[in-house]
């Protein structure tokens, strides 16, 4: 059964309720001290189904559900974004999932989070997807300390570095961490000295710009212009035309349909994406491959090892594609949204296993278990810092032409142990805004 929301019928600020279906317990093994059947654990999954990032609905929901299939005994009921999973359980407790949909705006995300927590009654919320949404949800988390919040892919730095909700956990890191290595690559490998930034005007792209500046500026580079464009803009040609001519290249910090619009506009003006553009983490999402061969050679930074031949990554890719086939092939497996929602749900599963599914006492033991996890993931081993934000491995990757003629990725650099402070560059009093930090 599919939600009445509908991908084509989503309207900003008018989110229809997604259908919540109970998952049937089918005999998950349990320890001798655990009952063979326990109370149902309700998990809400919140992502964007409308707005400029609607294309990531399939990726994020599929990643979260795949974790239940792979590690909680679940069975996929279909490859659609809101198709259910049956039979998932942890420590004798059936798992019930409910879907929530936003449009990348904090108000809508907060409305959906409240619906899932207060009306549906979920015990745990996985999400949201976008930066400003994460700040809003982490502030809301402080109002409901008896519930647990696990971030999806929301990458604004302030979410964990400043808000610091004790019941909000982020296993994917923030957007600045996802840029590790790219500023150094621009300065040392490409020999860039003067760079412009073009991006969407909200907290996540600002955070990505800060991560780039944390390396590029101390090395001696200069950011000569920052062009920020409101979310919801459809015609990016005038913004592309504002890029200075006397720069070595520019950094693009967009996602979804915005990325495709910028890249097509730049190519249409005679620009070379491979030599004069670097991409933020979401720019590298496979959904941008509709731009075509002009993307070949484009380099960016990401928290997932797209194109890696490491066994942990290739096993994840093959298993995911078997459980959730997508067209084109690789469009789910190559996405950070799929991987990080998968990791978030796996963290929830591991935390529940560690506590035998016990959520009593305002979920205090479960939250303690989450904070202490060392999570083995397809993109590396992850642990949390004192703010419950991940210390991650980051990757610099490049879009390549594969032998079969399709586009794919290869890993150029691997950067382990990237923390949220960039070894002290950022702190609780540092400012990440549309203009800060400066060079």
CA-based radius of gyration for the chain: 21
pLDDT band, residue 331 (cuts 50/70/90): confident
Task: Say what the pLDDT of residue 423 is.
Answer: 85
pLDDT at 201 over 80: yes
**Mean pLDDT within 412-429:** 93
- Cβ atoms of residues 338 and 63 within 8 Å: yes
Please choose, from the candidates 223, 224, 219, 226, the residue with its C-alpha nearest in 3D space to the C-alpha of residue 187. Answer: 219
Cα torsion through 406, 181, 343, 142, rounded to 10: -140
Task: Say what the pLDDT of residue 18 is.
Answer: 36
The residues near 121 (Cβ < 8 Å, ≥ 6 apart) are 42
The residues near 310 (Cβ < 8 Å, ≥ 6 apart) are none
- Cβ atoms of residues 283 and 373 within 8 Å: no
**Mean pLDDT within 162-176:** 97
HEC assignment per residue over the chain = CCCCCCCCCCECCECCCCCCECCCCCCCCCCCCCCCCCCCEEEEEEEECCHHHHHHHHHHHHHHHHHHHHHCCCEECCCCCCCCEECCEECCEEEEEEEEEECCCHHHHHHHHHHHHHHHCCCEEECCCCHHHHHHHHHHHCCCCCCEEECCCCCCCHHHHHHCCCCEEECCCCCCHHHCCHHHHHHHHCCCCEEEEEEECCHHHHHHHHHHHHHHHHHCCEEEEEEEECCCCCCCHHHHHCCCCCCCEEEEECCCHHHHHHHHHHHHCCCCHHHHEEECCHHHCHHHHHHCHHHCCCEEEECCCCCCCCHHHHHHHHHHHHHCCCCCCCCCCCCHHHHHHHHHHHHHHHHHHHCCCCCCCCCHHHHHHHHCCEEEECCEEEEECCCCEEEEEEEEEEEEECCCCCEEEEEEEEEEEECCCCCCCCCCCCCCCCCCCCC
Q: Of 8-12, 188-192, 404-408, give the lowest mean pLDDT range.
A: 8-12
Task: Say what the pLDDT of residue 329 is.
Answer: 80
Average pLDDT, the chain: 91
Residue 128 preceded by cis peptide, ω within 30:
yes
What superfamily would CATH give domain 41-174+310-392?
Response regulator (3.40.50.2300)
Task: Say what the pLDDT of residue 37 is.
Answer: 56
Give the pLDDT confidence of 1-36 residue by residue, as tens digits.
Answer: 333 333 434 443 333 333 333 333 333 333 333 333
Task: Say what the pLDDT of residue 284 is.
Answer: 95
For tokens 């549906």, the residue is 120
- Please tell me the pTM assigned to this model: 0.91
Residue 162 and residue 387: Cα distance in Å, rounded? 9
Residue 241 and residue 53: Cα distance in Å, rounded? 24
Task: Say what the pLDDT of residue 314 is.
Answer: 97
Beta bridge partners of residue 148, listed in sequence order? 124
Task: Say what the pLDDT of residue 50 is.
Answer: 94
Task: Say what the pLDDT of residue 33 is.
Answer: 32
Q: Which CATH class is domain 177-308+393-418?
A: alpha beta
**Percent of all residues in the chain with a pLDDT value above 90, rounded to a whole number:** 87
Beta bridge partners of residue 321, listed in sequence order? none
Please choose, from the candidates 221, 134, 216, the residue with its C-alpha nearest in 3D space to the C-alpha of residue 175. Answer: 134
Q: Which part of the chain has CATH 3.40.50.2300?
A: 41-174+310-392, 177-308+393-418
Task: Say what the pLDDT of residue 196 is.
Answer: 98
């Amino acid at each position: 059964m599919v939600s009445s929301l509908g991908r084509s019928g989503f309207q900003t600020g008018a989110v229809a309720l997604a259908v919540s279906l109970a998952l049937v317990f089918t005999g998950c093994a349990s320890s001798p001290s655990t009952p063979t059947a326990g109370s149902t654990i309700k998990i809400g999954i919140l992502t964007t189904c409308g707005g400029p990032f609607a294309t990531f609905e399939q990726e994020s929901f599929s990643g979260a559900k795949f974790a239940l299939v792979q590690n909680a005994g679940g069975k996929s009921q279909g490859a659609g974004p809101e198709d259910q999973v049956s039979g998932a359980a942890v420590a004798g407790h059936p798992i019930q999932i409910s879907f929530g949909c936003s449009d990348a705006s904090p108000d809508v995300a907060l409305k959906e989070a409240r619906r899932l927590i207060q009306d549906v009654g979920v015990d745990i919320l996985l999400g949201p997807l976008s930066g400003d949404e994460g700040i809003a949800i982490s502030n809301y988390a402080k109002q409901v300390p008896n519930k647990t919040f696990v971030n999806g892919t929301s990458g604004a730095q302030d979410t964990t570095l400043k808000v610091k909700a004790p019941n909000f956990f982020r296993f994917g890191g923030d957007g600045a961490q996802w840029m590790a290595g790219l500023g150094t690559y621009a300065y040392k490998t490409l020999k860039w000295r003067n760079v412009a930034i073009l991006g969407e005007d909200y907290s996540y792209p600002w955070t990505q710009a800060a991560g780039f500046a944390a390396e590029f500026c101390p090395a001696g580079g200069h950011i000569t212009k920052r062009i920020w464009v409101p979310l919801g803009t459809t015609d990016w040609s005038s913004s592309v035309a504002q890029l200075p001519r006397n720069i070595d290249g520019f950094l693009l910090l967009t996602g979804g349909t915005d990325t495709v619009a910028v890249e097509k506009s730049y190519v249409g003006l005679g620009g070379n994406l491979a030599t004069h553009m670097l991409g933020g983490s979401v720019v590298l999402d496979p959904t941008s491959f509709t731009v075509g061969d002009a993307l070949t050679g484009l380099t960016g930074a990401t928290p997932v090892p797209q194109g890696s031949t490491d066994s942990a990554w290739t096993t994840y890719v093959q298993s995911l594609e078997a459980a959730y086939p997508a067209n084109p092939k690789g469009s789910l497996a190559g996405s950070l949204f799929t991987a990080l929602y998968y990791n978030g749900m796996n963290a929830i599963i591991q935390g529940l296993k560690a506590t035998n599914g016990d959520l009593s006492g305002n979920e205090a033991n479960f939250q303690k278990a989450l904070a202490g996890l060392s999570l083995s993931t397809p993109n590396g081993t992850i642990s949390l810092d004192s703010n419950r934000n991940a210390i991650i491995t980051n990757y610099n990757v490049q879009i390549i032409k594969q032998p079969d003629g399709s586009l794919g990725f290869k890993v150029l650099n691997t950067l382990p142990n990237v923390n949220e402070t960039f070894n002290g560059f950022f702190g609780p009093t540092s400012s990440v805004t549309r203009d800060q930090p400066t060079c």
